[in-house]
Amino acid sequence: MSDYQPQVTGAAVTVLGMLLVACAESPPGQPLIPVVSTDEVLNLVRDGKKVVFVDAREPAEFAEEHIPGAINVTLRDIESMDTDVLADADVVIAYCLKDFRGFEVARALDRAGIHAARTLKEQGINGWKARGLPTYVAGHQSSVEAVNRLRACARDPETCAKQST
């Protein structure tokens, strides 16, 4: 047993040490990436602002379902992507399921000069759907229909939420 104890102990100590650092409380104050609520997003869409949704998930997940009008950009794509398509956006909302990957993509976009990068206060597409907002689901409707549903929601959020429930 003693022959292999150092390896196991070393691995355990390393992970525990890193966990302690990772769990350190986040300092209050300025967020690394600002958040925006779905209500604010709907207001921006209603006001005709350029809102770009960036889906940070894998292409297979994006193909299954996404926020209407979203583009698919994973973390590994950012270095090679042409950020000009996002340069004139009023708000760029990066998201994934719970915004772990969405946050990382928003941070990478911010570092690439897209300072309008945000994440959703309601945390990702799960939070978006929990608010009763529409998504594009493969095979259920066309992309155009999904975007039109989102615009309708922006004009009348209450009716939109009722339709979804």
Interface ranges with another protein (CB under 8 A): 3-8, 10-12, 15, 18-19, 21-24, 26-33, 57-58, 60-61, 64-65, 74-76, 97-101, 103-104, 107-108, 119, 123
Tell the smallest beta-carbon distance from residue 131 to another protein (Å): 15
Cβ–Cβ < 8 Å for 106, 121: no
Cβ–Cβ < 8 Å for 53, 93: yes
Which residue, 38 or 154, is less far from another protein as judged by CB? 38
Which residue, 34 or 46, is less far from another protein as judged by CB? 34
CB neighbourhood size of 74 (10 A)? 20
Query: Nearest-CA neighbor of 147 among 71, 68, 93?
Result: 68
Tell the smallest beta-carbon distance from residue 102 to another protein (Å): 9
Which residue, 30 or 142, is less far from another protein as judged by CB? 30
Beta-strand relationship, 136-137 and 65-66: antiparallel
Which residue, 68 or 124, is less far from another protein as judged by CB? 124
Which residue, 13 or 144, is less far from another protein as judged by CB? 13
Cβ–Cβ < 8 Å for 125, 96: yes
Tell the smallest beta-carbon distance from residue 151 to another protein (Å): 26
Name the one residue in this structure whose structure tokens are 């994934």. 96
Whats the size of the chain, residue-wise? Answer: 165
Q: How far apart are CA 89 and CA 33, in angstroms?
A: 16
Tell the smallest beta-carbon distance from residue 55 to another protein (Å): 12
Tell the smallest beta-carbon distance from residue 67 to another protein (Å): 15
